[in-house]
Amino acid sequence: MGGVAPALSRRGRLMTDLGLAEIAADQPAGLCATDVAGFPAETWNRLLFRHARRGEASVYRPADPCGLPALREALAEHIRLTRGVQCQARQVLVVSSTQQAIDLAARLLLDPGATALVEEPGYPGARAALLAAGATVRGVPVDGEGLVAERLPARPGARLLYITPSHQFPLGVTLSLARRLALLHWAARTGAWILEDDYDSEFRYDGRPLAALQGLDREGRVLYLGTCNKVLFPGLRLAYLVVPEPLVDAFAAGRRISDGFSPPLPQAVLADFLAGGYFAGYLRQARAHYAACRDALVRRVTRAWEGAPLGPSDTGLHLVAYLPRGSNDTRLVRGLPDAGFGVSPLSRYYYGEARHRGLLLFYGATTPERIARGVGLLTPHVAPLLKGAGRAVVP
């Protein structure tokens, strides 16, 4: 941004710095982009026209800040069945994004300066929202079993923990059952809230998924976040937040004075898309496409980048290829040609010093053919790093 520095508030300056860092890290197609080519646009448009043409008051008038009742019912049913989330429709709040849900939760649950814990490495979007809300953010390390529960502060003090238990972002590991139980025990004992971000578990290719952490929670400490912006398309801007019953009114009120409500027309369409079985049908097809992309990426990288072990790839739309400890992954990514899929340095996802180096490879918006070509384009840049001293260490 050029020109005269505007007289921003302290919070405004913080938000500007955090937001500009996020914008700078965006890539042309967006790292979170998905395969819109395969989306059943005709079905979506048919449902859209039906609601728009009928001129229903519910889609033209101001709507409930919590979301359309039909969508809240459909989402509650969907996550009860597929994720083992325990909830009534009343606890489901429709929001525009995970990002908005984290922002609302931070502002409603944290006083300025309160401690919020995040995974290290972790999702920069969550970190930024917590910092922008005035929280003091601390990282808790992640290893091959997910967040290291023994490293949580023993004494009460932290107010909130943000976590991606089903598919840790960015490492891709799954939080073990023992650690899930330890985490819930810790939250109940210290009075902390847990924000569970279940952003991409719909895309599971191998093995059986572990149910959501929220389903194991007996003390009402977990807030569950899901998004349709990844599973359907990023331009949709519909996500959801499931809150413990005593928080429902506060979140409804917070949403009302934040930006009112989400647009009702796409909500009505999404409700039909879920209830009519189109969502499940699309998911089966999308999963097959992404599995083919994952397979191509794993095959190509394993063959071309000997010495760059891969992290787990059983779920989601990205994986990590680890580089030797001393590699400068940020500089490497800056010099890479366009691969036809997203590439990001692992270092970027650490809040403190990066303990591991690697490349995040995003295959949400590409094809097996482009992956084959793209890995070929990247190899002359990556291979020299793998020949040097030192080995890549996988967490």
Q: Is 366 among the residues that bind ligand PLP (CB under 6 A)?
A: no
The CA distances from residue 379 to 87, 263, 305, 365, in Å, are 48, 45, 7, 20
- Per-residue DSSP letter, 145: T
Q: Name the one range near ligand PLP by CB under 6 A: 20-28, 77-85, 94-102, 366-374.
A: 94-102
Candidates 34, 86, 91, 99; binder of ligand PLP (CB under 6 A) is: 99
Least CB distance to ligand PLP at residue 307 (A): 27
Where would I find the H helices in the chain? 10-25, 41-54, 57-60, 69-83, 98-109, 124-132, 177-190, 228-231, 248-258, 264-275, 278-304, 329-334, 368-387
DSSP per residue over 29-69, as a string?
A: T-TT---GGGS-HHHHHHHHHHHHHHT-HHHHS---TT--H
Q: Is 197 among the residues that bind ligand PLP (CB under 6 A)?
A: yes
Q: Please name which of 283, 366, 381 lies closest in space to residue 329, comparing C-alpha atoms.
A: 381
C-beta closer to ligand PLP: residue 64 or 196: 196
Least CB distance to ligand PLP at residue 81 (A): 21
One character per residue 225-264, x = contact with ligand PLP (rule: CB under 6 A): --x-xx--------x-------------------------
Least CB distance to ligand PLP at residue 191 (A): 25
C-beta closer to ligand PLP: residue 78 or 230: 230
Q: Is 97 among the residues that bind ligand PLP (CB under 6 A)?
A: yes
Neighbours of 207 (CB within 10 A): 9
Q: Is 169 among the residues that bind ligand PLP (CB under 6 A)?
A: yes
Least CB distance to ligand PLP at residue 389 (A): 33
Bridge partners of 290, per DSSP, are none
Give the amino acid at 188: A
Q: Name the one range near ligand PLP by CB under 6 A: 8-16, 96-104, 147-155, 305-313.
A: 96-104
Candidates 162, 199, 224, 282; binder of ligand PLP (CB under 6 A) is: 199
C-beta closer to ligand PLP: residue 197 or 329: 197
One character per residue 21-40, x = contact with ligand PLP (rule: CB under 6 A): -----------x--------
Q: Name the one range near ligand PLP by CB under 6 A: 78-86, 92-100, 304-312, 348-356.
A: 92-100
Tokens of residue 298, six digits: 């794993």
Candidates 34, 86, 164, 315; binder of ligand PLP (CB under 6 A) is: 164
C-beta closer to ligand PLP: residue 245 or 259: 259
Phi, psi of 323 (to 5 degrees): -110, 160
C-beta closer to ligand PLP: residue 199 or 251: 199
Peptide bond between residue 170 and the one before it cis (omega within 30 degrees of 0): yes
C-beta closer to ligand PLP: residue 170 or 324: 170
C-beta separation of 311 from 377 below 8 A:
no
Residue pointed to by tokens 């779920």:
315
Q: Is 98 among the residues that bind ligand PLP (CB under 6 A)?
A: yes
Q: Is 123 among the residues that bind ligand PLP (CB under 6 A)?
A: yes
Interstrand relation of 136-143 and 115-120 (parallel, antiparallel or unpaired): parallel
C-beta separation of 392 from 378 below 8 A:
no
Peptide bond between residue 121 and the one before it cis (omega within 30 degrees of 0): yes
**Footprint on this chain of ligand PLP (rule: CB under 6 A):** 32, 97-99, 123, 164, 169, 197, 199, 227, 229-230, 239
